[in-house]
A and B are shown apart, each in its own frame.
Chain A
Amino acid sequence: KAGVTQTPRYLIKTRGQQVTLSCSPISGHRSVSWYQQTPGQGLQFLFEYFSETQRNKGNFPGRFSGRQFSNSRSEMNVSTLELGDSALYLCASRPTGGIDEQYFGPGTRLTVT
């Protein structure tokens, strides 16, 4: 099976702009979680989607949002970008059905200038 894929891999934006990141899970996986990774804060949970519904959310401002489509692909949107949003954004998928192991994508490196 193909692994988790994320597009784009690299992105440069300016403050105030918005950005949309995409994640395609492993075939058959219905849960997608998003994480922000920074050198200072490590890996921080943003939210989890299952069957097009957000089931859980981390402690991030409302500028961070997401959605999931019927084919389990997920998008994450950040509006009004701030310099502090520069990070590696990782998504991870898991099959559910009692299975908790999740598999990460390669990430999208977002730089806000």
Chain B
Amino acid sequence: GENVEQHPSTLSVQEGDSAVIKCTYSDSASNYFPWYKQELGKRPQLIIDIRSNVGEKKDQRIAVTLNKTAKHFSLHITETQPEDSAVYFCAGGRGGSNYKLTFGKGTLLTVNP
């Protein structure tokens, strides 16, 4: 089955700096890679996703890149703000009728004012 590894497990940055979280996956058949943000005591919320036929996707301060050959994908947050502090999860797997996602263990991002 799919195995998703996420690094780092914790990340501390100064407000305004960029943050990068990296994930690798094992199943070459995986075609859907979402990222979720989970604030303390809250539900995970989808912040951005990418499919295997796309190399990069951007939404304001958030971007995700995917390298299918190397089987890794990354989340980039620019101009970080204190409200970006949360646990971020990557996931990889198959979309559509064979839907199954494997999640990374999460990255605790702390943005210091």
Residues of B near A35 (CB, < 8 A) are: 103
Residues of chain A within 8 A (CB-CB) of B99 are 31, 33, 48, 55-56, 94, 100
Query: Are B98 and A56 in contact, CB atoms less than 8 angstroms apart?
Result: yes
Contacts of A44 in B (CB 8 A): 103
Closest to A6 in B: B43
Number of A residues near B (Cβ < 8 Å) is: 26
Number of interface residues of B (CB under 8 A): 24
A45 to B96 CA separation, bound complex (whole angstroms): 16
Interface presence of B10 (CB below 8 A): no
Q: Which stretch of A17-25, A79-87, A103-111 is in the interface?
A: A103-111
* Contact yes or no, B100 A104, CB < 8 A: no
Residue of B nearest to A105 (CB): B43
Q: How many CB-defined contacts (below 8 Å) exist between A and B?
A: 56
Q: Across the two chains, which residue of chain A brings its CB closest to B104? A: A42
| CB of B25 within 8 Å of the partner chain | no
Which B residues lie within 8 Å of A45 (CB)? 100-103
Per the 8 Å Cβ criterion, residues 54-94 of B in contact with A are: 89, 91
Residue in A43, A101, A102 whose beta carbon sits within 8 Å of that of B89 in the complex: A43
Chain B proximity of A108: nearest CB distance (Å): 11
- Tell me the bound Cα distance from A41 to B39 in angstroms: 18
The proximity string for A residues 52-71 relative to B, scoring 1 for CB distances below 8 Å and 0 otherwise, is 00011011000000000000
Residues of B bordering A, CB below 8 Å? 1, 32, 34, 36, 42-46, 49, 89, 91, 95-106
13 A-B interface contacts by CB (under 8 A): A33-B99, A42-B104, A42-B106, A43-B106, A44-B103, A45-B102, A55-B97, A55-B98, A55-B99, A98-B96, A100-B32, A100-B34, A106-B43
